A and B are shown apart, each in its own frame.
Chain A
Amino acid sequence: MGGKVSATLGEIKNRADFIMYWGGNPAECHPRHFTRYTLIPKGKFLPNGRKDRTMVLVDIRETASARAADQFLQIRPGKDFELITALRAVVKGLPVDDALVAQTGITTETLHDLARQMKQCRFGVIFFGMGLSMTRGKHMNSAAILTLATELNAFTKFVTLPMRGHGNVTGSDMVMRWNTGYPFGVNLSRGYPRFNPGEYSTIDLLVRGDTDATLVLGADPGATMPQPAIEHLARTPTIVLDPKVTHTSKLARVHITTAATGVSAPGTVYRMDEVPMPLRPALKSPYPTDEEVVLKIIEAVNRKAPFAPRAESMMRTV
């Protein structure tokens, strides 16, 4: 476990002749992925575009993306980890139990054929989505697919990328990584960063009721998080910065309308391959940018006296 063999989408466009999507539905969720980066474009080393590429889709249901695939492998729900582990064994030439493979919904012959295709390609890529990373096994599934891609490099060039979504989630991870060394779930309350998903991650903090105020930037947890987390946001002061009124702003104490980034505010967005893209605003907005609002909040906080708990409040009366 550990490490990710990766590439930019430009490299994939120019080189990838074997493309696998696992637990993702780009036709619906990333509608420009096929046409700009993976299936359709002609690449430097793939002059015939789609004809030079093979696409395999692995999913538990036949989604719209299946129509674009050369091979669709419908697997049983919750069997991703088992299938990846069997595939890793076959890639290494190790024996696998036919009955155990059959439990994944795939035959051993199909598995051997898949391993052969993966080993024989010139440049392979696995894109994995929430169907892999957010189902039973979660981070262990992600670790298994990253390991599979790493191990395939003993035979050919292979890379893997998560199908990141929702605007600039990759940018958030990247900036947190430069600043603290960790991508998310970072606690700065001691003045230095501490990382512990499950303890300092947003949903866990809200569900446990550990926070007494929340600042929400570019997100709508009121429409996406588990109900106990939403109820805690409603119980405590919540401040939302968003161009629109969202579910979260309705339960918040303060909503500050900001300019839409990329439309009326400049900034930098990170693509799913972690390549930064500058955004030039096309329109003017009467509203401040998120950055301007946050800087003003920092300024106001800095004017306040440092927080120091009174000694008597730290003592228990018996």
Chain B
Amino acid sequence: MARRYLMNAARSTKQGQQINVGKDTPEYQALVTTIVMHPDDMREAGIESGMAVRVVADNGEGIFYCKDGKIPQGMVFVNYGPPTCRLMGYVTDGTGMPQSKGWEVEVFPAPGQVPPLVGPDSVKPQY
């Protein structure tokens, strides 16, 4: 069984700025499709900085780019955005909000893959 990491989704200043610039800009796309891991965790998983990875959570999965950063071992950091909507659970336990942080995920190298478009065109009206 693959090692499970704790995914810690959060906000950042850059992400907040980009929300006001536009969520379909390349800068916003780059921010929300990049995860940060501890260098030792990346080495163990066979991931190089800048490589595409497949992140699998209990509720869904997605393709992200991975870079190393100052983060505790066993944890994955990501900015909130449309890609995290696919990983987030939807059970609110009677509180009205699902758990927005601390999901257990598995991370696999996915060289050559590209995170899908997360802009407004990624979801179409279906009625």
Contacts and interface: CB of A to CB of B under 8 A. Distances in A.
B112 interface: no
A204 B92 contact: yes
Contact of B8 (A60, A165, A223): A60
Contacts of A162: none
A136 interface: yes
B82 A223 contact: yes
Contacts of B94: 197-198
A221 to B, nearest CB: 9
Interface string B1-42: 000001010111100100000110000000000000000000
A162 B96 CA distance: 17
A252 B92 contact: no
A177 interface: no
8 contacts: A31-B13, A62-B70, A134-B101, A203-B92, A231-B123, A231-B126, A234-B126, A244-B22
Contacts of A288: none
A201 B120 contact: no
Given A60-B8, A235-B126, A247-B123, 9 more contacts: A31-B13, A77-B102, A131-B101, A201-B97, A222-B120, A237-B127, A246-B23, A246-B120, A251-B125
B95 A61 contact: no
Contacts of A230: 85, 123
B72 A204 contact: no
Contact of A250 (B11, B92, B96, B123): B123
A237 B127 CA distance: 7
A6 interface: no
A234 B11 contact: no
Contact of A227 (B22, B75, B86, B102): B86
A138 B99 CA distance: 7
Interface of A: 25, 28-29, 31, 60-62, 74, 77-78, 130-131, 134-136, 138-139, 165, 184-185, 197-198, 201-204, 207, 220, 222-231, 234-238, 244-247, 249-253
A247 B123 CA distance: 8
A61 B77 contact: yes
A130 B100 contact: yes
A223 B81 contact: yes
B86 A197 contact: no
Contacts of B12: 28-29
A227 B95 contact: no
B60 interface: yes
A280 B82 CA distance: 33
For the complex of A and B, the 8 pairs showing the least CB-CB separation, nearest first, are A201-B96, A198-B94, A250-B120, A197-B96, A226-B90, A134-B100, A251-B123, A207-B90
A198 B85 contact: no
B76 to A, nearest CB: 11
Contact of B99 (A136, A197, A231): A136
Contacts of B71: 61
Contact of A247 (B23, B77, B127): B23
A78 B11 CA distance: 19
Given A226-B85, A253-B127, A77 B75 contact: yes
A77 B92 CA distance: 19
Contacts of A235: 126-127
B84 to A, nearest CB: 9
A135 to B, nearest CB: 5
B93 A234 contact: no
Contact of A134 (B90, B97, B122): B97
Given A78-B102, A139-B95, A61 B23 contact: no
A78 B103 CA distance: 11
